[in-house]
Amino acid sequence: MLGSGPDGLPTTEAENRLGKIGPNKLDDSKKKGIAGILLSQFTDVMILILLGAAIISGIIGDVTDTIVILVIVILNAILGFFQEYRAEKAMEALKQMAVTQARVFREGIVHGLPATALVPGDIVLLEAGNAVPADLRIVESINLKIEEASLTGESNAIDKIIKRIDTENLPVSDQRNMAFKGTFVTNGRGRGIVTATGMQTELGRIAKMLQEDETVTPLQQRMASFGKRLSILVLFLCILFFVISYNHSIYHLNLIIILMVMMNISF
């Protein structure tokens, strides 16, 4: 299925596949950095409204409301910042698990190559002390044991086999004829044929989950939508009240009083 053989891939074919598939590494294109994470905490509509309310409170001299609003905004930003920052740190930890070098069988010759150059169909040699550079289907196992705690949490090394397993949708821990990127060989030796690289590996799947936006429930989606509509309605009423009150002297209201009433409406 992978178009390979006992002698591995021809060099030209491997280069062609690398050009099509891309390097065997985890993608961190969505990395925001500390400044980006911090700024993203202040882009929500409700947060912007609260900041506007804090500014107005400061203008009219209501120091207490200003402090309370700013404390709420800052606490929300701190919480959101640390949540996203931990996710980026986890992503960096996954990248550090990547292997820099691998022993690859191509055209019947063993080559020492950067792990980023691996492609599906490559035959990789494994021995005790090696980190697995990609997801592999084991084709030779001589007392081969691999520790997969980074993926499964299982502390005991797993004996690897070469026979076919016909059961579908097996969890990673039960796929004993596979070796996965980021795991470590603790005993024996063997070889495997690369089935997935980069973000298509099990490790890459975890990286994708870390990079994805947090999943929200239907109720949360409806509440967020309702909050936005309510915010727009309140802002419209505040502006309408301000214009009417300021242009009709019959109410004898000065600007400070109008702003105070607007603040009450918004709260």
pLDDT digits (tens, 9 = 90+) for 98-148: 557 899 999 889 999 988 999 999 999 999 988 899 999 999 999 999 999
Q: 42-46, 142-146, 175-179, 213-217 — which is least confidently predicted? A: 213-217
pLDDT at 13: 93
Least Cα distance to 135 among 96, 169, 181 occurs for 181
pLDDT at 29: 60
Residue 142 · residue 187 · CB < 8 Å? no
Residues 1-23, mean pLDDT to the nearest whole number: 90
Residue that wins the pLDDT comparison between 68 and 46:
68
Please give the distance of CA 11 from its chain centroid, rounded to a whole number.
34
11-23+99-210 CATH, one of 2.70.150.10, 2.40.170.20, 3.30.43.10, 2.60.40.10? 2.70.150.10
Residues of the chain with pLDDT > 90, as a percent, come to 29
Regarding pTM above 0.75, the answer is: no
Using one digit for the tens of pLDDT, what is the confidence trace for 150-205?
A: 788 888 899 999 999 988 888 888 999 999 998 999 999 999 999 999 889 998 88
pLDDT at 178: 95
- DSSP 8-state assignment for residue 157: P
SS (H, E, C) 194-231: EEECHHHCHHHHHHHHHHCCCCCCHHHHHHHHHHHHHH
Residue that wins the pLDDT comparison between 88 and 187:
187
Residues 47-69, mean pLDDT to the nearest whole number: 78
Which amino acid type is present at position 11? T
Across-strand partners of 159? 145
68 pLDDT band (50/70/90 cuts)?
Answer: confident
pLDDT over threshold 70, residue 73 = yes
- DSSP 8-state assignment for residue 181: T
Using one digit for the tens of pLDDT, what is the confidence trace for 233-265?
A: 777 777 777 676 666 644 445 555 555 555 555
Residue 35 · residue 132 · CB < 8 Å? no
Average pLDDT, the chain: 80
